[in-house]
Structure 1
Amino acid sequence: MTVLMLDDVTLRVAGRTLLEGATFNLEPGRKLGLIGRNGAGKSTLLKAIAGEFETDGGRIRFAARARMGYVRQEAPGGDATLIETVLAADTERTALLAELDSAPAERAADIHERLEAIGADAAPARAATVLAGLGFDEAAQNRASREFSGGWRMRVALAQVLFLEPDVLLLDEPTNHLDLEAALWLEGWLNRFSGAVLLVSHDRFLLDRAVDGILHLDQRKLTFYAGNFTTFTRVRAERQAQTLAQNARVAAQRAHMQSFVDRFRAKATKARQAQSRLKALEKLPPIEAIVEDHVTRFEFPDPGELPPPIVTMSKATVGYDGKPVLRDITLRLDQEDRVALLGANGNGKSTFAKLLAGRMEPMAGEVRLNQKLRVGYFAQHQAEELDLRGTPLSHMQDALPTATETQCRSQLARFGLDQDKATTVVASLSGGEKARLLLSLTTREAPHLLILDEPTNHLDIDAREALVRALAEFNGAVILITHDPHLVELAADRLWLVADGAVTPFEGDIDEYRAWLAERARGPKAEAAPTRRDDRRQAAEARMAAAPRRARLAQVEKALEKLQAEARTLADALANPKLYESNNFDLINRATQRQAVVAKEIGALEEEWLELSE
């Protein structure tokens, strides 16, 4: 059985072919990740499947009575309440209710009958249940969508889909507006979802844990790979290696045959063999072209070194309009620190970042920045402030008025904006290219402290890996706010939890944080996040418990040292010829017996020493 079928589909945009002759089937319950470079046509393909974009050839069909849910990159907003937004997803119910107000009596009866059949009366209660499951209480459900952050609005979009209970779910970069907690929640939800999924994402973590197949859109072709993203990268590399080896064999065979033809074609005695080789040459398989992917590379300028610390906070409190958001922050930041901020949207991560960047003043306490500190602050909302009529080059020239054009182009080139892209109007840049422009502008003055608030939104997988490599080579401090666990694992060596009005170190890795979140979600009695103080207490308790064993270990080591010295003395004595010249057999016997006892005691103590050491 198949719920979605693509048959020889071709897609073109502005005369450019994005997809050519694509065919694949999606079975019930199957979850596929759709991947490819920025601009390859992934979102366009989803729109075509959803019926929002016309194909240039082929057919897209759904199974009879199959219901489709489509979650776009843009989260819902507006003045409608959350409950109204979710209910509006049922377009049939909405249309019938709207028609009912002015329908004649006969038509009104039909409408009432249909509303009863689709369970329209129970719909509000069902929508409220769905929203509650996603973390929205009754008060929140009656607030306007525009009052919520992008991450929470994305949950509303997912609530619409849950409410519809689709057979096929289309997701376009769903984690772009989610915090790390919500992204982890989405992974769990997808694993529980019983329908089929086609997921466009550049999130390696999600593609490794929530899909069972990969559709790779590359060079206008769709190629299917069974397994998750890690399996895809391995299998694709193996296929490319096989293709290269096959190409080498065919090329060598062609060269050998062509050499024979060129040498003997003019000779009558060899003409027939030459013609035969020509025919064989024509039958050889064509050499398959491999378009080598351009290696994406980012490079942060070297800031130079500052004496530590570069930032200190002592009982700092920060907030808005006299209302504290974070209290009593006492932290220190050195130039070699790489910190990822954890915590749900709305807990104050961006507020803390602005305090670090010097864009907010503390309401109480003290924040001290090194006088020579340069801070680079990247935030996705800055994309809205770009001049759509300008170019990356004009933006850089405005930001660096004393720099030459060559210097401005060089800074843009650090983030892959080459000669052509540097002079392309911003309105024509992709989301990933705008993110590269923002990174280039953020780092133009070689900052010592780099604050990155959701830097991977709209970046494709290759660009994300380039960012990881660049951060590894960067000689400054980094503060990361990201929903990408892969980036956290590879780029951060410290985690700070922003929650309950405080900023505290989290002593663990991203997997331990995931486990803590799951434990907390199970009930109010879940343990608080472990802190450095907790670790010190646990370490002290462990030391106290181990104290008797350590004392015995010291005793064993002293006894061993004494016995080993005696064993060496006995061995020297028994090896001396003068002992045997004295004919003192009683002394020889006692020494030999004592040597055996000492060896036995040493063996027993060595076993005990090994056990105590473990």
Structure 2
Amino acid sequence: MLEIRNLDYRVEARPLFEGASARVSAGWKVGLIGRNGTGKSTLLRLIREEIAAPGKDSPIRLQNGARLGWVAQEVAPTDQTILDVVLEADAERHALMQEAETATDPDRIGDIHARLLDIDAWTAEARASEILMGLGFTTADLSRATREFSGGWRMRAAIAGALFAQPDLLLLDEPTNYLDLEGAAWLEGYLRRYPNTVLIVSHDREMLNRSVTHTMALEHRKLTITPGGYDDWLKLRAAKLAQLESQKSKQDKDRAHLQAFVDRFRAKASKARQAQSRIKMLEKMQEITVPIAERTLPFSFPEPETKLSPPLLEIEDAHLGYGPQAVILKNVRLRLDPDDRIAIIGTNGQGKTTLVKSIAERLPLLAGNRKVPKKVEIGYFSQDQLDELTEGDTVLEHVMRALPKDTPVAKQRAVAAQIGFSHEKVETKVEKLSGGEKVRLILGLIALAKPHILILDEPTSHLDIDSREALIYALNDFPGAVLLITHDVYLAEATADQLWLVKDGKVAPYAGDLADYRALVMSSDREKAGATKASADPAEDRRRNAQARDTAAPLKKKADAAEKSFEKANARIRTIDTELARSGLSPQKMTELSIERGKLEAEAAKAEEAWLMALEEYEAALKESAAS
């Protein structure tokens, strides 16, 4: 299906591939692994011919006639429904359906309908619905316009389109970054049943163990393929490394023995021939090299400065949400103690993020009581915070603001190094950092506050497997409470000893473990979603969805207005940055522009927060209205 032969490729002066070769057979499900920055996404771009490998003959060959498919970008925000967008992903079916409406030649009409029958076109809507609902969409969502969904949901729709099209070789680059635990579990099962070949870049250890038949490792600019999942590859690599070390140890002893003979007898005429023979043996001896293990930078969450007696936090009889019209969770009662390790589970849209935002005081309680000691410190991480880093500022400037004002520069640099940023990297502007580096910076800044409670909402989306392992060690060493939302089953199982289930407007402890929960999701909820492939009354569905949109229209206007304010402030900031970059600007004008920029940054931050909150209110109101 796919052959890579002696691939050489570099980005500027940095080589990514040197004589890399691999062969993927039809039907294989291959997990592509490697550290961040080694070139995994670049390899997918080379396969797609989005970028070209040097040389006349391409080192990458796809089987003749094979259809290649991938997730190019999120679905565009238009008036087209999510279901229709996914159906159009099957280009052949879409073209035939359109032609069938205009064709007049009886023979051609017969050919069209025969081909539609061959490609199972008449079950397409049911199959597309099943995929969308497996990825977390509801029945009501299928008839909603794509513009009504956030970017993350439109990316899920793009993934659904790629799966529905069923290309001969499907390329997926970190698809679980956009999924919750339930969606990731569904995708694992779907990939196992997928009839064609898959090449998936993933750092999700459990997905790689459950859904792939082979593992392709990118290490030291080479590619190797081994049968089995990630854990199988780890065992084979460890065995190979042990064998190499043993062979190198033996070779070093042989080399030392030969060299000792040469050094001792080279000057003696009677032994000169033997010495010369051993010199030739030394020259012919091929050096056995043991690959140097790359060091993973650790994470660290220090002990809080003040020890507090339990409970660290209590919430009693609380309603949580985004206003009186958008109550997501009701009568919430919970308590956090210093030794709690809790993973929050529940299908998407049930309110997991609403819960942790409320605990972290990012959202006010709509009703009820919140009790916390005055000195309690809460560290909160979410994917939204990646955008809260100040564009144009360096890593060092972010660290500097998190430390006391009188901290010496040398100390600031030392702290940045402890977080994981070298002497050269601290001067990098945050927009130039990779996703994993941004996560590391934010977690490092959180750690500087020495929190009593760590709340992490999908912290691993941009981390490679080794960095996720390092995060597990850090969380297990942390002496405070941990609340975790994650689609990474391995991380959750390795750190959490309690589960909280968020479902049907309630939060409650879950008695089983993650394996029980996965089995429950796959055997009940997802099957029900898959079985609800078409409404018995499409007209009633359309009426109900239209009514839901009308009810939520004021919230949509509120979200649109906040988005426009956010975009307007950012547009002016970009203009100011251009002006500040001009030469010959007077000090007075520079000061005026800098002051204006600071005010606009504050306005943009408030507008963005209002926009995101309004969008969540709108989506919650849509779901509530559609369900009623």
Q: TM-score, normalised by structure 2?
A: 0.77
Q: Counterparts of 1:21 and 1:205 in 2: how far apart (Å)?
A: 30
Structure 1: which amino acid aligns with 2:205? R
Structure 1: which amino acid aligns with 2:394? T
Structure 2 equivalent of residue 41 of structure 1 = 39
Q: Counterparts of 2:310 and 2:138 in 1: how far apart (Å)?
A: 46
Q: Secondary structure at the match of 2:264?
A: helix
User: How far 1:226 sits from its partner (Å)?
Assistant: 1.6
The aligned runs of 1:231-242 (5 Å cut-off) are: 231-242=232-243
Relative distance call for 1:396 and 1:127 in structure 2 (3 A) is farther
Structure 2 equivalent of residue 562 of structure 1 = none
Structure 2 equivalent of residue 194 of structure 1 = 195
Structure 2 equivalent of residue 456 of structure 1 = 460
Relative distance call for 1:117 and 1:423 in structure 2 (3 A) is farther
Q: Counterparts of 2:333 and 2:154 in 1: how far apart (Å)?
A: 33
Q: Which moved more, 1:86-95 or 1:441-450?
A: 86-95
The aligned runs of 1:217-228 (5 Å cut-off) are: 217-228=218-229
Relative distance call for 1:122 and 1:83 in structure 2 (3 A) is farther
Structure 1 equivalent of residue 510 of structure 2 = 506
Please give the per-residue CA displacement for 1:25-75, whole angstroms capped at 9, x wherever unaligned: 221221111000000000110111122121124422222222222135x54
Q: Is the 8 A contact 2:8 2:53 kept in 1?
A: yes
Structure 1: which amino acid aligns with 2:413? R
Structure 1 equivalent of residue 341 of structure 2 = 338
Q: Secondary structure at the match of 2:314?
A: strand
**1:355 pairs with 2:353:** no
Structure 1 equivalent of residue 85 of structure 2 = 85
Q: Which moved more, 1:83-92 or 1:241-250?
A: 83-92
Relative distance call for 1:19 and 1:447 in structure 2 (3 A) is same
Please give the per-residue CA displacement for 1:365-412, whole angstroms capped at 9, x wherever unaligned: 111111110011111121122234222111111233523334433443
The aligned runs of 1:37-436 (5 Å cut-off) are: 37-57=35-55, 58-71=58-71, 75-79=74-78, 80-91=80-91, 119=116, 126-127=124-125, 129-135=127-133, 136=137, 139-149=140-150, 152-304=153-305, 305-322=307-324, 323-402=326-405, 403-436=407-440
Q: Counterparts of 2:16 and 2:377 in 1: how far apart (Å)?
A: 43
User: How far 1:113 sits from its partner (Å)?
Assistant: 9.2
Q: Counterparts of 2:253 and 2:130 in 1: how far apart (Å)?
A: 66
Please give the per-residue CA displacement for 1:73-126, whole angstroms capped at 9, x wherever unaligned: x5434224313422442456778999999x9x99x9999899767649996972
Q: Counterparts of 1:219 and 1:98 in 2: how far apart (Å)?
A: 50
Structure 2 equivalent of residue 442 of structure 1 = 446
Structure 1: which amino acid aligns with 2:509? P
Number of equivalenced pairs: 519
Q: Is the 8 A contact 2:413 2:426 kept in 1?
A: yes
User: How far 1:17 sits from its partner (Å)?
Assistant: 1.6
Relative distance call for 1:123 and 1:392 in structure 2 (3 A) is farther
Q: Is the 8 A contact 1:83 1:124 kept in 2?
A: no
Q: Counterparts of 2:320 and 2:214 in 1: how far apart (Å)?
A: 46
Greater C-alpha radius of gyration: 1
Q: Counterparts of 1:426 and 1:70 in 2: how far apart (Å)?
A: 29
Q: Counterparts of 1:147 and 1:235 in 2: how far apart (Å)?
A: 48
User: How far 1:302 sits from its partner (Å)?
Assistant: 1.4
Q: Which moved more, 1:169-178 or 1:52-61?
A: 52-61
Q: Counterparts of 2:122 and 2:442 in 1: how far apart (Å)?
A: 43
Q: Is the 8 A contact 1:300 1:414 kept in 2?
A: no
The aligned runs of 1:415-564 (5 Å cut-off) are: 415-521=419-525
Structure 1 equivalent of residue 545 of structure 2 = none
Structure 2: which amino acid aligns with 1:384? D
User: How far 1:317 sits from its partner (Å)?
Assistant: 0.6
Relative distance call for 1:154 and 1:127 in structure 2 (3 A) is farther
Q: Counterparts of 2:528 and 2:16 in 1: how far apart (Å)?
A: 51
Relative distance call for 1:263 and 1:522 in structure 2 (3 A) is closer
Please give the per-residue CA displacement for 1:158-192, whole angstroms capped at 9, x wherever unaligned: 32123322121111101111100111111111111
Q: Is the 8 A contact 2:323 2:366 kept in 1?
A: no
Q: Tell which has more relative contact order, 1 or 2 (C-alpha 8 A, sep 6+).
A: 2
Please give the per-residue CA displacement for 1:481-511, whole angstroms capped at 9, x wherever unaligned: 1000001101111110111111100012111
Q: Is the 8 A contact 1:33 1:213 kept in 2?
A: yes
Q: Is the 8 A contact 2:486 2:492 kept in 1?
A: yes
Please give the per-residue CA displacement for 1:124-172, whole angstroms capped at 9, x wherever unaligned: 9724541244314554223233433566444422321233221211111
Q: Secondary structure at the match of 1:134?
A: helix
Please give the per-residue CA displacement for 1:552-593, whole angstroms capped at 9, x wherever unaligned: xxxxxxxxxxxxxxxxxxxxxxxxxxxxxxxxxxxxxxxxxx
Q: Is the 8 A contact 1:145 1:153 kept in 2?
A: yes
Relative distance call for 1:266 and 1:111 in structure 2 (3 A) is farther
User: How far 1:522 sits from its partner (Å)?
Assistant: 7.1
User: How far 1:328 sits from its partner (Å)?
Assistant: 0.3
Q: Counterparts of 2:433 and 2:470 in 1: how far apart (Å)?
A: 19
Q: TM-score, normalised by structure 1?
A: 0.79
Q: Counterparts of 1:272 and 1:522 in 2: how far apart (Å)?
A: 78
Structure 2 equivalent of residue 17 of structure 1 = 15
Structure 2: which amino acid aligns with 1:64? N
Q: Secondary structure at the match of 2:347?
A: coil
Q: Counterparts of 2:43 and 2:282 in 1: how far apart (Å)?
A: 40
Q: Counterparts of 2:100 and 2:49 in 1: how far apart (Å)?
A: 28
Structure 1: which amino acid aligns with 2:374? Q
Relative distance call for 1:268 and 1:231 in structure 2 (3 A) is same
User: How far 1:282 sits from its partner (Å)?
Assistant: 1.3
Structure 1 equivalent of residue 585 of structure 2 = none
Unmatched runs of 5 consecutive residues or more in structure 2: 530-628
Q: Secondary structure at the match of 2:319?
A: strand
- RMSD, matched Cα: 2.9
Q: Counterparts of 1:167 and 1:360 in 2: how far apart (Å)?
A: 46
Relative distance call for 1:418 and 1:95 in structure 2 (3 A) is farther
Structure 1 equivalent of residue 598 of structure 2 = none
Percent of residue pairs bearing the same amino acid type? 46
Q: Secondary structure at the match of 2:448?
A: coil
Q: Is the 8 A contact 2:82 2:144 kept in 1?
A: yes
Structure 2: which amino acid aligns with 1:248? S
Structure 1 equivalent of residue 2 of structure 2 = 4
Relative distance call for 1:522 and 1:381 in structure 2 (3 A) is closer
User: How far 1:465 sits from its partner (Å)?
Assistant: 0.2
Relative distance call for 1:448 and 1:406 in structure 2 (3 A) is farther
Q: Counterparts of 1:316 and 1:295 in 2: how far apart (Å)?
A: 42
Structure 2: which amino acid aligns with 1:453? D
Q: Is the 8 A contact 1:468 1:487 kept in 2?
A: yes
Q: Counterparts of 1:85 and 1:300 in 2: how far apart (Å)?
A: 44
Unmatched runs of 5 consecutive residues or more in structure 1: 526-614
Q: Secondary structure at the match of 1:199?
A: strand
Q: Is the 8 A contact 1:149 1:345 kept in 2?
A: no
Q: Counterparts of 2:373 and 2:335 in 1: how far apart (Å)?
A: 12
Structure 2: which amino acid aligns with 1:60? I
Please give the per-residue CA displacement for 1:402-427, whole angstroms capped at 9, x wherever unaligned: 23334433443343222222222223
Q: Is the 8 A contact 2:346 2:352 kept in 1?
A: yes
Relative distance call for 1:100 and 1:231 in structure 2 (3 A) is closer
